[in-house]
Amino acid sequence: MASIKFAAVGKRYPNGFVALENLNLEIADKEFLVLLGPSGCGKSTTLNMIAGLEDVTEGDLWFDQTRMNDVPPHRRDVAMVFQSYALYPHKSVYDNIAFGLSMRKYPKEEIARRVQDAARKLEIESLLDRRPEQLSGGQRQRVALGRAMVRQPQVFLMDEPLSNLDAALRISMRAEIKALHQAMQTTFVYVTHDQAEALTLADRIVVMRSGVVQQMGTPNDIYERPRNMFVASFLGNPPMNFVRGALARREGRVFFDAPGLQIEVVPELANRLAAQASGPAVLGLRAEDVTDEAAGPHHSQLSGRVVSVLPVGSDQFLEIDVGGARVFLRLGKESRWRVGETAQVSVNLHRIHLFDQASEHSLLWP
């Protein structure tokens, strides 16, 4: 298997456009790493560099102890699954899966063994004689996975493989991909803009924006301790609430003040603010950390006018206006607030986030 290392890697095009800047990243052998970010952030460029489909214009790319900058794609021992599936319409499922092995002149018996093994694991044995046009989207994606599996590559690359599937099928395919990784014990690098996929699949997430890594860590690290407002807003449904205001010290205590809202920063968080415990700031609140239940220990109460009520099955999102700022809450479906009412809600003070207004960086990071 293979570990992958990006050492100060950049991608600059002749017209001056910088797609990737100073990427320093180590991907461990057998790790499932997810590159997460919006369109144009550099995640697909990063994946294509691993595959050899994009040249490294700055820095070095390593597989284990081998520098890969000038190694052609066919010598990299990687397999790639594309968003579009990229199946041959005139070939059967069997021949699509076997194609890479046939091109490499593997014995027919070995090809048959590998194809049957992959088809069994992906539960598509009954489809081997069909053509792609006779398959559903989920079945086509399984064929694309099978074609990569039979290669038994050192590195398995996936470029938004589930984006063409409906919501229910995406959920089931996530579970299948996770199980596939566990069974294959191979390094997986997965590109997506879907934060639910990243949180579900990844051992580690790399959040990217405009060619620059914003944060990397476990799904829990990224979600619970976002390094800046971009990361905080990109993970979570609905996105994190932001309220602009200011921090102030009064009688040895730290408060966040904004129109219609005053929250005391608990000592364990205030101690991490150090010298930044005063001045303009942004309060970050996740929807699940604001509740309409009575305020308990380590909670602070606030009130706001209900702007909208959005049922989402087992939950509902309540949007309230707090001094001109809009705040979303995730509540149980039994809540019965109506638009126009004044809702009394409480905030878990141990779960707040604080950001600098100018830089948008977390004030709670070291």
Q: Which residues of 251-289 are buried (b: 16+ CB within 10 A; e: fewer)?
A: eeebbbebeebebebbeebbebbeeebeeebbbbbbbbb
- Determine the pLDDT at residue 161: 87
Q: Are residues 249 and 298 in the same domain?
A: yes
Q: Are residues 138 and 157 in the same domain?
A: yes
Q: Are residues 152 and 257 in the same domain?
A: no
Q: What is the CATH number of the domain that holds 154?
A: 3.40.50.300
Low pLDDT (below 50) residues in the chain: none
> Of all helices (H) and strands (E), which one includes residue 100?
helix 93-103
Q: What is the CATH number of the domain that holds 347?
A: 2.40.50.140
| Domain contains 363 | no
Q: Are residues 245 and 174 in the same domain?
A: no
| Domain contains 195 | yes
Asked which of 212, 230, 248 is the last residue of a domain, the reply is 230
| Domain contains 289 | yes
Domain hosting residue 118, numbered range: 4-230
Cα 30 to Cα 343: distance, rounded to the nearest angstrom: 49
Q: Are residues 295 and 336 in the same domain?
A: yes
Q: Are residues 238 and 225 in the same domain?
A: no
- Determine the pLDDT at residue 57: 96
- Determine the pLDDT at residue 295: 64
Q: Are residues 197 and 251 in the same domain?
A: no
- Determine the pLDDT at residue 296: 67
Asked which of 230, 261, 282 is the last residue of a domain, the reply is 230
Contact 248, 316 (CB under 8 A): no
Q: Are residues 158 and 274 in the same domain?
A: no
Q: Are residues 161 and 204 in the same domain?
A: yes
Asked which of 164, 198, 230 is the last residue of a domain, the reply is 230
**What's the total number of domains in the chain?**
2
- The DSSP annotation for 175-219 comes to HHHHHHHHHHT-EEEEEES-HHHHHHH-SEEEEEETTEEEEEE-H
Q: Are residues 126 and 242 in the same domain?
A: no
